[in-house]
Chains A and B, each alone.
Chain A
Amino acid sequence: MKPASLAALHSTDDAKLVREIVTPEGIPLRFTLARAGDRAAAFALDTLLQVIVLVVISWGLSLAAGGGGSWLTAVIVVLAFLLVNFYFAFFEVRWQGATPGKRRIGIRVIDARGGQLETSAVLARNLIRELEVWTPLRFLLASSVVWPEAPGWARLCAGGWAFAFLFMPVFNKDRLRVGDMIAGTRVVMQPKVVLVPDLAEEAAAAPIYAPAGGKPAAAYVFSDAQLGIYGIYELQVLERVLRTNPGDASHAEAVRTVSEKVRQKIRYDAKVVDDERFLREFYAAQRAHLEQKMLFGQRREDKFSK
């Protein structure tokens, strides 16, 4: 088996995007920075919501006031200003770094040093949107109003400006937009993770994937030598394979491939009827083995370590 073959199945988290903060209790917590696409999607959702709210408010107000009156216009003008400039800040303060769009996508703003997310930081990162988004946008879309005889080079400059700020997060390693730099904040992924059943315990219980009609397969037994080949990395790749799309055709395919490779590698010669069952049993045995070693202070990171 080539060294990379198991790793190829591993859908890797980008290790470059993981940041650590240390809690006051002294325990490091790891956060993964949000991807550009997720942030763009959250921003689009929030903008959509702003527009909807504004339309509903103006419509409701004009209905309530019986179709007009400039007090109404005044209220709408002020509301629109507040909505555009303080929508993000309001939610990020109230919801600890999330807005409706961010929550939906599963990302949130945190303080770069792991402290409390201060109100001033939230304000700073959001006031900058005027520079990053609204001004260039206004210029690009409504240049006939802002500056009627704008020459071509001015439009080009505005386009370049918008482009530079829009893609700023892609050009630095912490995925910071200008607002994040000014406020000292980061945007991280925080999807809700549910607690899934333990694979090792499932393997010990009755077989879930018993071959249809056939007798339940005999328990597989592994020797210490066979369990001494793989390390923690391979164990967790195997865990991922077993957990990905269970019951799917692609799952069955992956399980068959991996099972074959594992049997080859550890020289497991006995007949295997059910690959799924075999891999689960192997997983449980391998984990028990590695955890046992870990208790005695021996962490075997991967198959290349001693």
Chain B
Amino acid sequence: MQAGKIAAPRQMRSVEFRKEREATWQALEELIATADKHGLRTLGAEQLARLPHLYRATLSSLSVARSISLDRALIDYLENLVGRAYFVVYGTRQHLRRQLSEFFLWRLPSTIRAAKWHILVSAVVTLAAAIAAFQLTWADMDYYYAFAGDMAQGRTPAASTAELREGLYHIESGSGGLATFAASLFSHNARIGILAFATGFVAGLPTLFLLFYNGLVLGAFAALFHARGLGVDLWAWMLPHGVTELTAVVLCGAAGFQLAHGLVFPGARTRMDSLREHGRSAAVIVIGSVCMLFVAGMIEGVFRQTVTSVPIRFTVAGATAAWWIAYFGFVGRSRDRKNAEDREVARHGPPRRGSVGELAPQMSGAMEVAR
């Protein structure tokens, strides 16, 4: 038997504490497990109402446990449980349909308006390359091979004017082939577009190259057909899908430049913060462009191969141009203005503190949903 005082009694506060609160934690754990497995929507109204309360109670348990308990396993358990619950409570609970409508009715056009300078740079690069290639090819047709290479499917200076003309008014028989054609056009173009965005991470140089190359092909192509007096026919053939497709490519380039901008010129922010902001808005633009390329692929693969009337082709081209200008120029403007006003109020109102201020409205939103 050891000498000295006998140690403290066995029944510790931390053991008592655990006994009192354990039921709450288990209730939360069950809710989280259901939400993880079957989605938040499978929780009933009553369960959903309990979620924030259980979460807060468990959060406070964690806080207490950290100060009174030395049971590592218990603290680890609570930390893990609160961490999992945190994402369920603060996660997005908008319906997919609402997310989509918000994206297309505000986020996308608004982001594109905000990126106007990057879009301008991207458009100028494409246009400059096209004009340069047009001039050079116009003067000497041999340049055509250098710019457009062998990707023009037989449409080269070696072909006769009649053959070139035939290519512009060719009608595909049978509808099945067209669908495949449209689908592969879309997936090819969309991949190039995503790549133009992603290579923005390498300071935007490959993005620049992709845009420039795209412009060169366009310019050389135009020069060839204009030289043969097929200018009007060429544009009638190209613009119905080209308006949408070229805009999408320019937008992807702009997204790449935006990324490069965030990386190379972070300004007053840290490079990581700057990248994070530019990267997210660039991603929005790319998703918009992918949708546009899908539309362009449909027009190119199906409409162009079945309709040969020049006036109809130009009408469609004009209509798509008008549509994109209206969409990107005006949709969601009222919400932009409202947000700007809110920011103004916030600047002159009480100062908001970091993430706490940003997240608090979401929490109350979650509580409202729960009610």
> Which A residues contact B (CB, under 8 angstroms)?
22-27, 29-31, 69-71, 73-75, 77-78, 80-81, 85, 93-97, 108, 110, 112-121, 123-124, 127-128, 130-132, 135, 178, 181-184, 190-196, 198-201, 203-204, 221-227, 232, 235-236, 239-240, 243, 268-270, 284-285, 287-292, 294-295
Contact = CB atoms under 8 A, between A and B. Distances in A.
Contacts of B286: 123, 127
Interface residues of B, number: 90
Contact of B12 (A184, A200, A221, A270): A200
Q: What does DSSP make chain B's interface, helix, strand, loop or mixed?
A: helix
Interface of B: 1-15, 18, 22, 25-26, 36, 39, 56, 59, 62-63, 67-74, 76-77, 79-84, 86-88, 90-92, 99, 103, 107, 175-177, 179-180, 182-184, 186-187, 190-191, 194-195, 197-199, 201, 259, 272-273, 275-277, 279-284, 286-287, 290, 355-356, 358-360, 362-363
B171 to A, nearest CB: 17
Contacts of B67: 294
A74 B183 contact: yes
A29 B183 CA distance: 47
19 contacts: A24-B363, A69-B176, A73-B180, A116-B91, A116-B362, A121-B280, A121-B283, A124-B280, A131-B198, A182-B201, A182-B259, A184-B273, A184-B279, A190-B84, A196-B73, A198-B73, A223-B3, A223-B6, A239-B71
A294 B70 contact: yes
Contacts of B272: 181, 184
B187 A227 contact: no
A166 to B, nearest CB: 14
A305 to B, nearest CB: 14
B79 A198 contact: no
Contacts of A128: 198, 201
Contacts of A291: 12-14, 68-70
Nearest to B25: A195
Q: What does DSSP make chain A's interface, helix, strand, loop or mixed?
A: helix
A74 B15 CA distance: 64
A224 B4 contact: yes
Contacts of B11: 204
A236 B72 contact: yes
Given A192-B84, A224-B5, 17 more contacts: A24-B356, A26-B356, A29-B83, A73-B183, A77-B187, A78-B183, A81-B187, A96-B87, A114-B355, A116-B92, A117-B91, A123-B283, A128-B198, A184-B279, A224-B4, A236-B70, A285-B8
A237 B186 CA distance: 59
Contacts of A295: 13, 68
Contact of B198 (A112, A130, A224, A289): A130
